[in-house]
Amino acid sequence: MKLLLFLLTPLAGWAQDGTEPRELIGKMGTRSALLVLHSAQRPDGSWQVAGEYVILPTLARRFLEGERSPELGVTVLKEGTTPILFGRPGIAELRGTWREGAFRGSRYGVGGQKREDFEFSEDFPSMDAYSANLRCEAKQGRHQTRLALSVDKGRLNSLDWRSVEPGGQACGIVATAQQPLRGGLRFAAGACRITLRDAGEVLALRAENCAALCDGDAHIAPLFIDRRGNCELLP
């Protein structure tokens, strides 16, 4: 199955500070997409938001940064092609309302022209009946990852996830514990949490709070899994 890289380097610090990432599945125009957002609340009750979305058919990746209002959930996010958006021009803007587990609105170009509507939901399909024995490897440049995962009817048998950075620094996750998760599966290795979601064309696998299992600044790159058992890192 295809494993896709999925979480911003700048957001890693947010996760360590206790902000909870939100995953949403939906469509950007007519294309299916997966959205991951982190929010940090400000003293006035509004939220600073950062994240990314991936267009699933092509694996095109876009980064987001902006804010969300405290009560109505009005959300405006600048879109760019790199993780660092502060002080840089965006390529588009998402304007909409994020509340009650749904984010709906429209995407606008830099000149203010409307390009397409979008709709995302935090409701993912149940994986209570999911079973698989996966072994796959992926390489992007000098970054390599290897996964061995065994699940039987939604229950974890074993997970061994290894990643090696270009400089030789590595991460290694061996998980045997499982935590409850609505609309997916969540595994644990101490404070490290691994989340598996059904995103339609692919399964999305993502790790967070796993710095203690990595050398130096290395990180375990989140991934996507296709229905044939292949794996691939995002470019």
pLDDT of amino acid 197: 96
Query: What pLDDT score does 82 carry?
Result: 87
> Under CATH, which number does the domain 11-121 receive?
2.40.128
Q: Which ranges of the chain would DSSP assign to H, the alpha helix?
A: 9-16
User: What pLDDT is recorded for position 116?
Assistant: 97
Distance CA 65, CA 91 (A): 12
| Sheet of 192-198, strand order | 177-179, 185-189, 192-198, 202-208, 223-226, 231-232
Looking at the chain, the whole-number percentage of residues with pLDDT higher than 90 is 68
Say what the pLDDT of residue 185 is: 97
Task: Look over the chain and give the mean of its residue pLDDT values, rounded to a whole number.
Answer: 88
Length of the chain: 235
* Residue 124, pLDDT above cutoff 50: yes
Do the beta carbons of residue 184 and residue 197 sit within 8 Å?
A: yes
Flag whether pLDDT at 15 surpasses 80. no
The pLDDT tens digits of the residues spanning 141-199 come to 778 899 999 999 999 999 999 999 888 899 999 998 999 999 999 999 999 999 999 99
Mean pLDDT confidence for 56-63: 89
Question: Using CA atoms, how far apart are residues 86 and 82, in angstroms rounded to an integer?
Answer: 10
Query: Domain-by-domain residue ranges, the chain?
Result: 11-121, 132-232
pLDDT mean over 11-30: 70
pTM for the full predicted model: 0.84
Whether 98 has a pLDDT exceeding 50, the answer reads: yes
Averaged over 24-51, what is the pLDDT? Answer: 95
